[in-house]
Amino acid sequence: MSKIFQTAKKAGLDEFMLALLGVILLAWLWPEPGMRDSPLPLSEISTYAVSVIFFFYGLRLSPEKLRAGLVNWKLHIMVHLSTFVLFPVLALTARSFFTGNEAQSLWLAVFFLTALPSTVSSSVVMVSIARGNIPAAIFNASISSLIGVFATPLWMGLVMDATPGAFDLWSVVGKLALQVLLPVFAGILLNGRWGHFAETYKKYIRYFDQFSILLIVYTSFCESFGEHLFSALDLKDLLFLGAGMLGLFFGIYFLLTFIANLLHFSDEDRVTAVFCGSKKSLVQGAVMSKVLFSGAQAGIMLLPIMIYHALQLIAASIIAQRIGREAQEQVAQQNRIL
């Protein structure tokens, strides 16, 4: 059990998740600093922080590694079809189970989760522990973030029941391109000159990333608590949502495992496919919620992805430990035979 907790800590579950819960509690107790009429420009600060996050993200992406990763195209197609097609389609089929205005708002938040790209750091960590194809994991996680800039708002534009002009798709894509794509490509272009700096100080850059996400979550939940958007949700709703998120993860995981076996993937590629294709990014969720949803709505939209983020790390760490242990035992057995 201690190994599972150590793995979850490496993936960012322990301190960061406690900090997330802490800022939500702070937003509930003291929402005034994060409200729109607050004299503190916390929302504006978090907007600029997002661009810095993705600049450093691009700075650590080597163009050579991205080109080399294109070879394993079957694996890449499977991961991205799962991330941007399978997840949203499953959410669409479940829409009829959410009846009433409050339930429809919760379903929209769940759909937002399913339209998000895959994670970067935790996917690579889990693939590494399970002895999967690490270069392919890095490639898929990186490309997924770029695809999400366009795919996520496209999906949300299709399902949001808004009045004409309330959801301007091209305006949203333009904002994401300015806040996310432009900094990423600037970082990639400067990789040859400053890439070593980002690798050397990646620990401190990660702290900056986490602080920025905490700031976004705090301001989002301040608005939601201030507008009493969570008043209609009770413990039963949260337990139902948690069970649904856990069922979604394992449903995708086992389906991807079946498809990977059907396509005769190697053990390493199968591990990469199931871990990269079943994850969703809290970082991208926080960033896109600022652009897609205004004011108080952003907080409730982040609720499913925060629950899914925690559950996917716990479940994936347990599975990755088991797969890695089995792979290690197979190698040891082969060595004894030789």
Neighbours of 176 (CB within 10 A): 23
Taking the C-alpha atoms of residue 313 and residue 13, their distance in angstroms, rounded to an integer, is: 7
CATH class of the domain whose range is 2-328: mainly alpha
Position 261 pLDDT exceeds 90? yes
Position 329 pLDDT exceeds 60? yes
Which has the minimum average pLDDT: 201-205, 234-238, 295-299?
295-299
Place of tokens 């294709």: 277
13-67 pLDDT tens trace = 567 777 888 888 898 888 888 777 777 777 778 778 878 877 887 787 777 766 6
- DSSP label of 100: S
74-98 pLDDT tens trace = 899 999 999 999 999 999 999 888 8
* Segment (H or E) for 229: none
Q: What mean pLDDT do residues 143-155 have?
A: 86
290 and 172 Cβ atoms separated by less than 8 Å? no
75 and 144 Cβ atoms separated by less than 8 Å? no
pLDDT for the residue numbered 69: 63
* Segment (H or E) for 163: none
Higher pLDDT, 296 or 150: 150
Per domain, the residue ranges of the chain are 2-328
What type of residue is 69? G
pLDDT for the residue numbered 245: 93
Taking the C-alpha atoms of residue 295 and residue 289, their distance in angstroms, rounded to an integer, is: 10
180-223 pLDDT tens trace = 788 888 888 888 888 888 878 878 887 888 888 888 888 878 87
Question: Could you give the C-alpha distances from 261 to 51, 66, 101, 126, in angstroms and in order?
Answer: 39, 26, 41, 19
What type of residue is 102? E
Q: What mean pLDDT do residues 131-144 have?
A: 82
Q: What mean pLDDT do residues 128-140 have?
A: 82
Neighbours of 246 (CB within 10 A): 16
Higher pLDDT, 165 or 180: 180
Mean pLDDT score of the chain, rounded to an integer? Answer: 81
Closest by Cα among 42, 23, 13 to 214? 23
For the entire predicted model, the pTM comes to 0.80
Structure-block tokens of residue 46:
């978090």
